[in-house]
Amino acid sequence: MKQDFLDKFQGSMLGVAIGDTLGHPFEGVLREDIHSYFKDFKEFIGNNRKLFNTYTDDTQLTIHTAKALIQGNGFNTDNFIREYVLWLEDPPIGPGYGCISSIRKLKYGIPWEQASSNSGGNGTAMRIAPIGLFYCKDLNELKKSAIKSSIITHSHPAASAGAIVIARAIAYLIDKNPEAGFSIDEFFEVIISSISGSQEEIWEEFIKILAKLQSNLDLPIEAGLIKFSQIGVKSPYFIEQYLGKAFVHPYTISTVVCAIFIFLKSLSSFEKCVFELATAGGDSDTVGAIGGSLVGTYFGYNNIPIDLAKMVKGYKNILKLSEELYLKFAKRN
């Protein structure tokens, strides 16, 4: 069955915003504590509407990424830098240090090669959805643009690898029909091959971690998150007090792996998946945003419950922006 790509574009962008909005109140909280607040998350949302009043940097930067792509009809460094600098005026909500410090330098005209921080944080994977969508039919450009859009703020190789993997996963999911499902083995083959054959040691390590994830998909969500929450995190960044706990570390590899894990464990509905993502623990808003980009692409806007869409601040603007991005994509293809 041919998929409606406009629906998928809108689902993906809105998926980021819903996951981010629902995860925001739980940023920095252990999964076990989050889940102690409620028996039924849907009911909890209904009773605590005010908690879920905004999205954060993840959605803000995704919006700026989409705008930069629309302006340039594709990736263009100057447009991306201009849009990310404009984000400083939004103003940023809950930004990562590496990301905001590099963008502040860009604002003062420092070339990106010097402004970029050596951060391996999840700041590039959280904003990559528009690139996965726009280049879903041009995988060479998808990879190049994922790298280029990352290194202007994050020079660490883990950051660009995380961005490529998520962009490639989105391109894979865009023509899948949720009623028919997809092959999990093929999904892993595709995302692993997107970062294979490089000289980067961290990319090779990431591939091994993805293979480990694939062989641990039978774990329940809590146990899997305990296993993968800090995977790949190196000393001195490791948080010892959260060993043996579900608390997703804001490192790119751990966040991307946990988001993919939850997505693959919750393929039955958009709502079920996004609830699990947003209550992951640790960097919950970013797990929500990244996983939201995957589940939103897979299900499409038409399968997103309208009351969840309406929780997003200015959700109609996001739908409109997604349509503009889609029209650029359609013209190019």
Residue closer to Mg ion, measured from CB, 23 or 74: 23
Sign of the four-CA dihedral 116, 19, 298, 326 = negative
The letter for the amino acid at 106 is L
Is the Cβ–Cβ distance between 111 and 77 less than 8 Å? no
Residue closer to Mg ion, measured from CB, 83 or 285: 285
Respond yes or no on whether the N-terminal peptide bond of residue 178 is cis (omega within 30° of 0).
Answer: no
Residue 122 CB, nearest distance to Mg ion (Å)?
9
Residue 16 CB, nearest distance to Mg ion (Å)?
11
**Candidate list 7, 57, 83, 276; residue touching Mg ion; CB under 5 A:** 57
For residue 261, what are its two tokens? 């894990």
Strand partners, 121: 251
Residue 280 CB, nearest distance to Mg ion (Å)?
13
The letter for the amino acid at 271 is E
8-state DSSP, 50: G
In degrees and rounded to multiples of 5, residue 248 shows phi and psi of -70, 120
Residue 54 CB, nearest distance to Mg ion (Å)?
10
Residue 126 CB, nearest distance to Mg ion (Å)?
7
> Which span sits near Mg ion by CB under 5 A: 51-59, 163-171, 218-226, 296-304?
51-59
Residue 286 CB, nearest distance to Mg ion (Å)?
5
Residue closer to Mg ion, measured from CB, 313 or 332: 313
CA angle 239, 242, 245 (to 5 degrees): 145
Total residues binding Mg ion (CB under 5 A): 5
Residue 113 CB, nearest distance to Mg ion (Å)?
26
Residue closer to Mg ion, measured from CB, 74 or 98: 98
**Candidate list 12, 56, 119, 297; residue touching Mg ion; CB under 5 A:** 56
Looking at beta carbons, which residue is closest to Mg ion?
A: 56
> Which span sits near Mg ion by CB under 5 A: 41-49, 132-140, 222-230, 278-286?
278-286
Helix (H) or strand (E) holding 295: helix 284-299
Binding to Mg ion, residues 73-112 (CB under 5 A): 94
Residue closer to Mg ion, measured from CB, 17 or 171: 17
283 near Mg ion, judged by CB under 5 A: no
Give residues with Cβ within 8 angstroms of 157, minimum separation 6. 120, 200, 201, 202, 203
Sign of the four-CA dihedral 325, 120, 86, 78 = negative
Residue closer to Mg ion, measured from CB, 7 or 285: 285
Give residues with Cβ within 8 angstroms of 172, minimum separation 6. 182, 187, 190, 191
**Candidate list 7, 58, 83, 271; residue touching Mg ion; CB under 5 A:** 58
Sign of the four-CA dihedral 244, 245, 251, 255 = positive
Chain positions contacting Mg ion, by CB under 5 A: 56-58, 94, 285
